[in-house]
Chains A and B, each alone.
Chain A
């Protein structure tokens, strides 16, 4: 009888450890995918000086764009890969959209600039970054959904409340950024 109870206890401990490790894995996945987003957001900062340099002659006439760029740069610098802040991310994405549309408007307003290969390449690079951020956010949202389910379902919810006491993470949902990434194959 005692052996049976001991065996049961050992099995119970193994199950608890497995669930605990599962929760930690899910949490780390969320943290990793968040870091990915921040890493890609920070890459924008590297591109901004080049964009400004290429269109500097014209930016004197586009004061509002200059302000948007500065504002975007400081917003990106403020977010941390260590703490998940979806509101800040939403703010960055809105500012990015504004900067991108600003540069597009500049390119259209000054045809000479539009023909410049450098600006075209920089804009293409920026768009690629945006596509990667969109994809990274999709992965982040999936991981968040897995994590939230992982800590809310029984018996994980009990283990979570007794050990890690982690709270659900809000899913990133921003209408302006349109983060419903679904890859469509090109038509040949």
Chain B
């Protein structure tokens, strides 16, 4: 059991040293095993990573008290009051800023650590790319990325391999951000009470996540829940529930019917219960792009907290579940299993 720490400056310094090491480890994208080792070593000297802010709370309270005292006794204190009125707010701002900065340093590191842990769990490799150029490249290949009349960018891209029932799936996890620019007319009253109107430019920000999976056949079929621009032959399933969720377009009705067998139809209905704004794009270049509104596909069942390094070291070695991305990859695999024989015959 970690012993309770005494409130000392030395402890804060040890925490700072520990945090610098952790920040470097996260930035260098260490493996979960290496991170666990680092947390274990930090836990020896720093069982709890939490700054002791009590001194700064005292400083803040003292400064505010001095300020109030100086304001009420201005006439008696004279020039000293002016000095206090000038210095005490600075001291209060300094102490509160330090507390906030320390808090955000830990929460930000915690978020980065959680993300790295999840990426490591899936064995994903981060890609280096130009965000706008990549978005344009993807837009030339997939309708999903032809969004945003003002700007579009790929904010992150990771590559991975997943073992399916029938084969291994190479995939990319893509975070996409786009901005739509629109002009709105606003009505307002001037000083005289007359109604007038003015035009304002509004920028709407949108975020979506996609997984781009390599499959063993190439067809042109688009299944939209969220708005899409492709229009080929429209097809309707015999399932009313499916038709209410998705709009399906493709090169020919036969191709779509071969792909959307009853088992796949039910599978996609089920998938729409878990993911909002789901779109599926099958391309001739043997890829399937599944896109949705969620941005937390890598969320795992384990939540890390750097405040307790010893516990974090143990959790880092756990093979936690990542239900969201696992479901999507499983669906891609199942669609492949049901369709491969159909399209390979051609």
**CA A188 – CA B238 in complex, angstroms?**
31
Is the CB of A91 closer than 8 A to any CB of chain B?
Answer: no
Which of chain A's residues 127-146 have a Cβ closer than 8 Å to chain B?
Answer: 128, 131-136, 138-140, 142-143, 146
With most chain A CB atoms within 10 A of its CB, the pick from B164, B239, B265 is B239
**CA A147 – CA B154 in complex, angstroms?**
47
Is the CB of A154 closer than 8 A to any CB of chain B?
Answer: no
Number of A-B contacts (CB under 8 A): 69
A125 to chain B: closest residue by CB: B341
Is the CB of B216 closer than 8 A to any CB of chain A?
Answer: no
| Given A125-B341, A132-B262, A134-B263: A142 in contact with B330 (beta carbons within 8 A) | no
Is the CB of A4 closer than 8 A to any CB of chain B?
Answer: no
Flag if B334 contacts A186 (CB, 8 Å): yes
Flag if A183 contacts B266 (CB, 8 Å): yes
Flag if A36 contacts B337 (CB, 8 Å): no
Flag if A188 contacts B262 (CB, 8 Å): no
Flag if B329 contacts A135 (CB, 8 Å): no
Q: Which residues from A are CB-within-8-Å of B341?
A: 125, 128
Q: With both chains docked as a complex, state the minimum distance between the C-beta of B274 and any C-beta of chain A, in angstroms.
A: 9
Is the CB of B102 closer than 8 A to any CB of chain A?
Answer: no
Flag if B240 contacts A146 (CB, 8 Å): yes
Is the CB of A32 closer than 8 A to any CB of chain B?
Answer: yes
Flag if A142 contacts B266 (CB, 8 Å): no
Flag if B263 contacts A131 (CB, 8 Å): yes
Flag if A143 contacts B262 (CB, 8 Å): no
Chain A binding surface SS class? helix
Chain A 91-107 interface mask (CB, 8 Å, partner B; 1/0): 00000000000000000
Is the CB of A33 closer than 8 A to any CB of chain B?
Answer: yes
**CA A54 – CA B94 in complex, angstroms?**
83
Q: Which residues from A are CB-within-8-Å of B303?
A: none
A133 to chain B: closest residue by CB: B262
Flag if A29 contacts B267 (CB, 8 Å): no
Flag if B330 contacts A186 (CB, 8 Å): yes
Which of chain B's residues 235-263 have a Cβ closer than 8 Å to chain A?
Answer: 237-241, 261-263
| Given A132-B338, A146-B240, A186-B165: A139 in contact with B265 (beta carbons within 8 A) | yes
Flag if A188 contacts B239 (CB, 8 Å): no
Q: With both chains docked as a complex, state the minimum distance between the C-beta of A21 and any C-beta of chain B, in angstroms.
A: 15
Q: Which residues of B contact A (CB under 8 A)?
A: 162-165, 237-241, 261-263, 265-267, 270, 326-327, 329-331, 333-334, 337-338, 341
Q: What are the 10 closest A-B residue pairs judged by CB atoms, nearest first?
A: A135-B262, A136-B262, A33-B238, A135-B263, A186-B330, A139-B239, A32-B238, A188-B326, A185-B330, A135-B266
20 A–B pairs (Cβ distance < 8 Å), ordered by A = A33-B238, A125-B341, A128-B338, A131-B338, A132-B261, A135-B262, A135-B265, A136-B262, A139-B238, A142-B239, A143-B238, A143-B239, A181-B266, A182-B270, A183-B266, A183-B270, A183-B334, A186-B164, A186-B333, A188-B330
Q: Which residues of A contact B (CB under 8 A)?
A: 29, 32-33, 36, 40, 125, 128, 131-136, 138-140, 142-143, 146, 181-183, 185-188
